[in-house]
Amino acid sequence: AQSVSQHNHHVILSEAASLELGCNYSYGGTVNLFWYVQYPGQHLQLLLKYFSGDPLVKGIKGFEAEFIKSKFSFNLRKPSVQWSDTAEYFCAVNGGVSGTYKYIFGTGTRLKVLA
């Protein structure tokens, strides 16, 4: 079955620390990749997306992600986190050999940034 794995369930960092959140997927074929963020009390918002082209994509608020096809990974990074980055982060995938348009989400990573 198609799935998305996020191995870090809870991450606690101090401000200015660097962040990397892992995401692996089990699709074959061409996929579209996404990172969404959910701030406390708010709806899911898109951080960044990868459809094709340069595997290093930049999103909002200084976030970036790298698509490594050989590793089926799409890890999220930020060089220096801020207290306001405290949120839950979800990796999502669609496409693949079945060509499905539904988005499959990982279980999420809850990030807490200490001031």
Partner 1 sequence: DTGVSQDPRHKITKRGQNVTFRCDPISEHNRLYWYRQTLGQGPEFLTYFQNEAQLEKSRLLSDRFSAERPKGSFSTLEIQRTEQGDSAMYLCASSLSTGTGSAEAFFGQGTRLTVV
Does 46 sit near partner 1 (CB under 8 A)?
yes
Q: Which of 52, 53, 54, 115 binds partner 1 (CB under 8 A)?
A: 52
Does 45 sit near partner 1 (CB under 8 A)?
yes
- Taking the C-alpha atoms of residue 80 and residue 8, their distance in angstroms, rounded to an integer, is 18
Q: Which of 12, 15, 26, 51 binds partner 1 (CB under 8 A)?
A: 51
- Distance in Å from the first CA to the final CA of the chain: 41
26 vs 82, which CB is nearer to partner 1? 26
**Residue among 60, 6, 13 at smallest CA distance from 37:** 60
19 vs 93, which CB is nearer to partner 1? 93
Contact predicate 76/62, CB 8 Å: no
Contacts to partner 1 from residues 53-92, by CB under 8 A: 90, 92
User: Residues interacting with partner 1, by CB under 8 A?
Assistant: 4, 6, 32, 34, 36, 42-46, 49, 51-52, 90, 92, 94-95, 99-108
